[in-house]
Amino acid sequence: MSKTQNLHHLLNELNRKLHLEPKILEQKVFALWREHLGAPLGTKTVPVSLSDGTLKIYTEYPPYRTELLFHKQKILDDLNAELGQSIITELQIELHQVHAAHEAKSVPLKKKESKANSRNSKTINHQVKPEKLERIEQSLATVTDTEVKKSLRRLFMTQSKDDP
């Protein structure tokens, strides 16, 4: 068995044991979103979560929301075809402010007055504890491929943020 096959087998086993398949699919959907939709729609809209088949999308711009709704079925069909399985059954498109780095803030446009408070509480809630960070780095110590290592680190960090 080659090193690549061993790594593939090891990663599949790790995913299965840690129940990471849903998170990996979510990250794959997020990566496909921009690639599939292109500019400007893919860059002015942000996928923020995938839960029970519903892909939640944020955008600051009502015209982009309208366009997504208009092309909803084609987007669903195309993304599911890329994923190789029917994972996304619904798009939930909401108007929210979006960072320049295309990460959604937790503040709906309607609640601008509480923007600072929400941003502060989000930062506090999403910090990874040092002991979890250390465990993540220990588990990645043997991974030599930098891209795989970076992707796994991002996945583990996301998992740690969701896990209190």
Is there a single domain that holds both residue 96 and residue 140?
no
In a domain, 35, yes or no: yes
Q: Which of 36-45, 111-120, 145-154 has the lowest mean pLDDT?
A: 111-120
Q: For position 99, what pLDDT does the model report?
A: 64
Is there a single domain that holds both residue 33 and residue 99?
yes
Average pLDDT over the chain, rounded to whole? Answer: 76
**Long-range contacts, 99-107 (Cβ 8 Å, 24+):** 102/34, 102/43, 102/46, 103/46, 104/46, 104/48, 104/58
**Average pLDDT rounded to a whole number, residues 76-96:** 92
Is there a single domain that holds both residue 90 and residue 146?
no
**Average pLDDT rounded to a whole number, residues 141-156:** 77
In a domain, 120, yes or no: no
In a domain, 118, yes or no: no
**Average pLDDT rounded to a whole number, residues 110-128:** 41
Cα 33 versus chain centre, distance: 10
Looking up residue 73, the CATH number of its domain turns out to be: 3.30.300.180
In a domain, 121, yes or no: no
In a domain, 122, yes or no: no
Decide the pairing of beta strands 54-59 and 45-51: antiparallel
Is there a single domain that holds both residue 45 and residue 89?
yes
Q: Which domain holds residue 140?
A: 127-164
Is there a single domain that holds both residue 153 and residue 106?
no
Is there a single domain that holds both residue 49 and residue 101?
yes
Is there a single domain that holds both residue 74 and residue 131?
no
In a domain, 119, yes or no: no
Which residues pair with residue 108 across a beta bridge? 96
Is there a single domain that holds both residue 16 and residue 83?
yes
Q: For position 132, what pLDDT does the model report?
A: 76
Evaluate if residue 128 carries a pLDDT over 80: no
Q: For position 124, what pLDDT does the model report?
A: 31
Of 88, 112, 136, which closes a domain? Answer: 112
Evaluate if residue 79 carries a pLDDT over 90: yes
Question: Structural domain tally of the chain?
Answer: 2
Q: What is the pLDDT of residues 52-65, one digit of tens each?
A: 899 999 999 899 99
